[in-house]
Chains A and B, each alone.
Chain A
Amino acid sequence: MDLERTVLALIENDARLSTKTLATMLGVDEAEIKALIEKMEKAKVILGYNTVINWERMGDDGVTAMIDVKVAPEREVGFNSVAEKIYRFPEVKCVYLMSGTYDLSVVVTGESMKDIAWFVSHKLSTLNNVQSTVTHFILKRYKQDGFIFEEPEEDKRLVVSP
C-alpha cells in the first residue's frame, strides 16, 4: 500500500494517532505526514474527525431511525436535489442513494420518537417528489463504525509467556 493509503487506513481506525506517532510507525518525517494529512483534508478525502460515543452509557435516551424514502427523480438532477434538501436538516446524519425497492436511506436522530415522527410527517414526507417513507427505529446498537458496544476488548493473554 502507498503511504497515503496506509496513513488513511491507520487514522480511519484511530483518528487520535498523533502525526509524530504516525511518522515513527511508518519511518518517515513528521513534516511529511502533516503535509499529507493537510493535502487530504484540502482534497476532501478526509472530511472530518468523529468520535464514536455510546450515549446510552451516559444515560441518554436519544432515538435513531433509518428511513426508507421513495422518491420521484427529477429531470436533469435525478435524486440529487431532493437528497440535498434532506441532508441539510441537522438531525439527518446520513443520506444514501440505494439500489432496490426504495431510493434514499436516511438516518435521523432525535431526543424522542415524537421528534422523529414530527420530522417525518412535517419535513420529509411533505417534500415534493417524496412518494412514501418507511421508518425503522433502532432498538439496540451492537456495532458501529467498527466498534463493538457492549463487549470491551480485554486482553486475555497471560501477562508473561515464553
Chain B
Amino acid sequence: MSSMNKYISNVVKTIPPSGIRKFFDLVAQTEGVISLGVGEPDFVTPWHIREAACYSLERGYTMYTSNQGLLELREEIAAYEKRRIGIEYSPEKEVLITVGVSEAVDLALRTLLEPGDEVLVPEPCFVSYAPVGVLTYGKAVPVQTYDEDQYRLKADVLAKCITPRSKVLILAYPSNPTGGIMGQEDLEALLDIIIKNDLIVISDEIYSELTYYGKHVSIASLPGMRDRTIMMNGLSKAFAMTGWRIGYACGNQDIIAAMTKIHQYTIMCAPIMGQKAALEALRHGETEMRRMVDNYNFRRKLILSGLQDIGMDCFEPRGAFYCFPSIRVSGMSSEDFCAGLLEEEKVAVVPGNAFGENGEGYIRCCYAASVNNIEEAVAKMGNFIKRHNKIPIANIG
C-alpha cells in the first residue's frame, strides 16, 4: 500500500511520538519483567467504588449527562475542593468535568492560545503538555527545573523565558516524573512574574493528595490568582481510578464556559459510569484514599533508601509516586541505561529524557509496586550499576 503520509497535516508531523511509547514496545517484547515503569497506582479501584458503578449500570444509568457533567458530581467536587485547597467554586458555573486532566489541558490550551502564543512548560514534566501546546498552534517553551532545586520552578529561570508572546504557564506539582513539590513560599516567589506578565496558570494538581510533607498548596489559593488559574484535578491518582477517565477543571466562569463550548462539540460529556463512580469516591472514599497514600509513603522511603544503598543519587521526592535518580555513575545516556537494565536485569524504568531534554541523565522509577518488587528491582539495579560503574562511588559528590 502506498504511503498516506502526504495526507497528514504538518502540525501533526512535527510533534514527536512519545518517548515512552518507544520504550513500551521494547519492554512488551521482554518476558518476566519487574516494572517500575508504570504511571499509575498499583491498587485496583476500591471495591465500594466499583460496586457503586455496577449498581448505577444495573439501574440503567447509561445515557449522556449534561455537557459540564452531573450537577451532583460538580457539587461534590466543589465541596471537595473547598476542603482540599480552600477555594469555593460554583458548581453551576465554575466546574467542568472532563475525560481526565488530559482533556482539561487540551481544552484550556485551545481556549487560551492564539497562533504563536507561548506556553511555558517547566521540564522535566508529563509528556503531553508541549505536544498539546503545539497542536493548539501555540509554541511550547521549556523552562528548566533542576535536581539541586528539588525540581521546583525558580522565578529567575522563569523570568528568562518570558517573551511578549508568553501567555500560559503550566504548573504540575507534585511532579510526574520527579516527585518534586512546590510549597507556599515557592509559589509565592512566582507571583510577581505571573501577574506582571499577565500569564494564565494551568495548575495540574492530579497528584496533590499524594503529598508527604505538609499540605498541598494550590497556586489558585494565593492572592490575585483565583481567576488567573485554571485548577485541574481528577480521581485517577488519589482514588486509583485511572481507567475511569474522570478529571475536572475549575476556574473563572468565562474560561470554564469557553472550555465547555469546545468540550460539548468534541467530547459531549465524560462517561456517566465514570461520573457515578467518582461520586461514590468523593462521598465515601476518603478513608481508603488515605490508606493508599500512607502505603505509597512507606514504599517511597523504602525505594529511596534502596537507591542510596546502591550508590544512586536521588533527591528526596515529596509527592506523587515517582523518584528520579541520577544515573551519572553509569556514564550512560538515559535510553542506553534503561535498555541495558531491561536486557540484562529485566527491570523496566523510564528514561528521563522522555520527560524533556533536561531529564537526560536520570530515570523515573515508580514505587507504586509491591514491596518485594521494589526490593528486587533495586537489588538488580545495584548489580547493573556495579557492572557498569564509571565513577568510583566514593567520589560522587
Asked if chains A and B come from one complex, the reply is yes
Specify the main secondary structure of chain A where it touches its partner. loop
Give chain A residues whose Cβ lies under 8 Å from the Cβ of B38.
Answer: 157-161
- Bound: A10/B37 CA distance, A: 25
Residues A159 and B128 in contact, CB atoms below 8 Å apart: no
Is A27 an interface residue, CB under 8 A from the partner? yes
Is A17 an interface residue, CB under 8 A from the partner? yes
Is A58 an interface residue, CB under 8 A from the partner? no
Is B40 an interface residue, CB under 8 A from the partner? yes
Residues B37 and A25 in contact, CB atoms below 8 Å apart: no
Residues B27 and A160 in contact, CB atoms below 8 Å apart: yes
Interface size bucket, A side? 10 to 19
Q: List 28 A-B contacts (CB under 8 A).
A: A1-B294, A17-B371, A24-B302, A25-B298, A25-B299, A25-B301, A25-B302, A26-B301, A155-B42, A157-B38, A157-B40, A158-B24, A159-B33, A159-B35, A159-B37, A159-B38, A160-B23, A160-B35, A160-B37, A160-B38, A160-B348, A160-B350, A161-B24, A161-B38, A162-B20, A162-B126, A162-B127, A162-B128
- Shortest Cβ distance from A21 into chain B, in angstroms? 6
Interface string of B8-39 (1 = CB under 8 A from A): 00000000001010011001100001010111
- Bound: A132/B105 CA distance, A: 69
Give chain A residues whose Cβ lies under 8 Å from the Cβ of B350.
Answer: 160
Interface centre among A1, A26, A162 (most CB of B within 10 A): A162
Give chain B residues whose Cβ lies under 8 Å from the Cβ of A6.
Answer: 294
- Bound: A17/B37 CA distance, A: 24
Interface size bucket, B side? 20 to 34
Is B358 an interface residue, CB under 8 A from the partner? no
Residues B40 and A159 in contact, CB atoms below 8 Å apart: no
Interface string of A124-155 (1 = CB under 8 A from B): 00000000000000000000000000000001
Give chain B residues whose Cβ lies under 8 Å from the Cβ of A26.
Answer: 298, 301
Residues B27 and A159 in contact, CB atoms below 8 Å apart: yes
Partner of A161, one of B39, B128, B301, B371: B39
Q: Which residues on A are within 8 Å of B, measured CB to CB?
A: 1, 6, 10, 14, 17, 21, 24-27, 155, 157-162
Is B150 an interface residue, CB under 8 A from the partner? no
Residues A159 and B302 in contact, CB atoms below 8 Å apart: no
Residues B305 and A24 in contact, CB atoms below 8 Å apart: yes
- Shortest Cβ distance from B95 into chain A, in angstroms? 26
Is B227 an interface residue, CB under 8 A from the partner? no
Give chain B residues whose Cβ lies under 8 Å from the Cβ of A24.
Answer: 301-302, 305-306
Partner of B302, one of A21, A158, A160: A21
- Shortest Cβ distance from B139 into chain A, in angstroms? 22
- Known: A10-B298, A21-B375. Contact between A159 and B305, CB under 8 A? no
Interface centre among A26, A155, A161 (most CB of B within 10 A): A161
- Known: A21-B371, A21-B375. Contact between A162 and B302, CB under 8 A? no
- Known: A17-B371, A21-B371, A25-B298. Contact between A161 and B40, CB under 8 A? yes
Partner of A159, one of B28, B42, B299: B28
Minimum CB distance partner of B37 in chain A: A160
Interface centre among B18, B128, B294, B371 (most CB of A within 10 A): B371
Minimum CB distance partner of A24 in chain B: B305
